[in-house]
Amino acid sequence: MNTTDTIGGHLIAGEWSTDGPTAVSDNPARPDDPVGEYVLGDAATAASAVGAAAEALPGWRSTTFVARAAILERAAALLDAAREDLAVLCTLEEGKTIAESRGEAALAAETFRFHAGMAKISTERVFPSPTPGETIRTVRTPLGVVGIITPWNFPLQIPAWKIAPALASGNAVVWKPASNTPLLSVAIARILAEAGVPAGVLNLILGPGSTGAALVADPRVDGVSFTGSVPVGEAIRDTVTARNGRVQLELGGHNPAIVFEDADLDLAVPCLVAGAMGATGQKCTATRRIIAVGDIHDALLERMAEGVTALAVGDGMTDGIGIGPLVSTGAREEVAGALANAISQGASVVAAAADSPDEGCFFPPTLLSGDTSLSIAHDEVFGPISTILRVDSEDDAFSLANATEFGLSSSVFTNDLWRIDRAIHELESGIVKVNAPTTGSELHVPFGGEKSSSAHAPREQGDTAVDFFTRTRSAYIRPGTVR
Ligand code: NDP
């Protein structure tokens, strides 16, 4: 199996193509050692991929669920077999540590296995009828041709979350991955083709955001599932819903973790450090605000400072490294600019990782202390910066936690069952964690946000994933003869 193309190409109607201009796929840890090249598609590429998907759709939608599940199971086995190669490619292109990449590769395989199983569970329902002899059933039909647009921060897992249920439900897919991780996307598409996904059922198009915009604008695309930034997600929503298409968005977060006075800091601090700084803070569920309630503030600050200072930053391929670089120099500039701005607004730097290279895409995980007047206490900064904010009461903690346009994930650290119950019901986020990091989710459980974090669409993952990728049809069936 070839998981390491040096020039990544498009996969359209079962054919690989590297025709056209190319761009370099960089390694954020080693700027002088690019990973390879990839071809730059355009609107015509998107149109031809959508055409291939539309042509392949009738055959795939009439393939039995057993056959579709068998292909997904083979894909899971092949992803498992290629796990180390995929993990290395993920670290080279995205920068996260090899341990993080290995975990993600394993979960991608598991996601295909899960949806192979889900494909065998009937989603039909039967209803009683007031008409004698009549049966009423709901059946699911595939949504149709779906556009899948994925980001670079989970370049294995997020494509798996979307592509596996889309294929399991009988849809034909056009996938536009992020330009920071093109060769990894090619490797995944190669595996899916080898697993037996028929020509045209999965099409991969590489290229800049404008290629994705052309995909989204194509009226033959019935729905789009997108994870990425707020402005791009909102533009996609406007384009797709204007033609009554279906859209699923997973956008930003400004996730709070509330630490109450009764919290066990031995448990809370490692969760907070991992939640804020893991994957170099480039998770939509990362802990951006740490809300300390009352007198626990000073001890928490001290323990968090120790944890952040000790983080080892460096090339994710090196043993012992806990935090890799940011994904690009552009991302570094943005995060460094946000830190400078926070300091100019009065934030104090409590701690920064002591052992961090000061070059290229590297950025030291940084802990700030301040108040809600800071922009960084409201605006999402996609990097390893978290701010500790102090409040004096439980009511203030809950209202500060909810004082954001986002609502993806939140956590509380406490042993008080009343507070835990209140958190589950009152924190305005799609995920609420108790004595656990804001990050991390299980693939058999629905995932998604509230407020500006997600669209009002069925959740990804779990048994709700199929809801986005299918239409429900109600069938009224009466006997064909008079009795
Ligand atoms: P974008 O939203 O720009 O990119 C996400 C995906 O959308 C990529 O595949 C991108 O392609 C594609 N895309 C870009 N423009 C368009 C368009 N007009 N129409 C259709 N598709 C498009 O995010 P970035 O990667 O630029 O990251 C910027 C910020 O987004 C981050 O700093 C962070 O705040 C947020 N983000 C959030 C994520 C999350 O998990 N919710 C994940 C990643 C980023 P291409 O890569 O070629 O531009």
Distance 232 CA to ligand 1 centre (A): 7
Mean of pLDDT values over 125-131:
96
CB 46 near ligand 1, within 6 Å: no
At residue 1, the pLDDT reads: 39
Domains of the chain: 6-251+455-474 (3.40.605.10), 255-434 (3.40.309.10)
* Substitution candidate for ligand 1 out of 10, 39, 96, 149 with most atoms within 8 A of CB: 149
CB 224 near ligand 1, within 6 Å: no
Decide: residue 451, CB within 10 A, 0-12 exposed, 13-18 middle, 19+ buried: middle
pTM: 0.97
Distance 222 CA to ligand 1 centre (A): 21
**CA separation for the pair 161, 164 (Å, rounded):** 6
pLDDT of residue 359 exceeding 90, the answer is: no
Per-residue pLDDT reduced to its tens digit, 245-296? 999 999 999 999 999 999 999 999 999 999 999 999 999 999 999 999 999 9
Mean of pLDDT values over 83-104:
98
**Banded pLDDT at 230 (limits 50, 70, 90):** very high
Q: Sheet holding 385-391: strands in order across?
A: 348-352, 366-369, 385-391, 287-293, 255-259, 409-413, 431-434
| Number of the ligand 1 atom closest to the C-alpha atom of 380 | 34
At residue 101, the pLDDT reads: 98
pLDDT of residue 3 exceeding 70, the answer is: no
Average pLDDT, the chain: 96
CB 178 near ligand 1, within 6 Å: yes
Task: Give the DSSP per-residue string, 362-415.
Answer: ----EEEE--TTSGGGTS---SSEEEEEEESSHHHHHHHHH-SSEESEEEEE--
| Number of the ligand 1 atom closest to the C-alpha atom of 158 | 40
Mean of pLDDT values over 101-105:
98
Mean of pLDDT values over 162-180:
98
Mean of pLDDT values over 56-78:
97
Per-residue pLDDT reduced to its tens digit, 191-221? 999 999 999 999 999 999 999 999 999 999 9
pLDDT of residue 342 exceeding 90, the answer is: yes
Per-residue pLDDT reduced to its tens digit, 7-60? 999 999 999 999 999 999 999 999 999 999 999 999 999 999 999 999 999 999
Per-residue pLDDT reduced to its tens digit, 421-461? 999 999 999 999 999 999 999 999 999 999 999 987 899 99
CB 175 near ligand 1, within 6 Å: no
**Catalytic machinery residues:** 250, 284
CB 232 near ligand 1, within 6 Å: yes
The pair of three-digit structure tokens given for residue 244, joined into one six-digit string: 């009554």
At residue 277, the pLDDT reads: 98
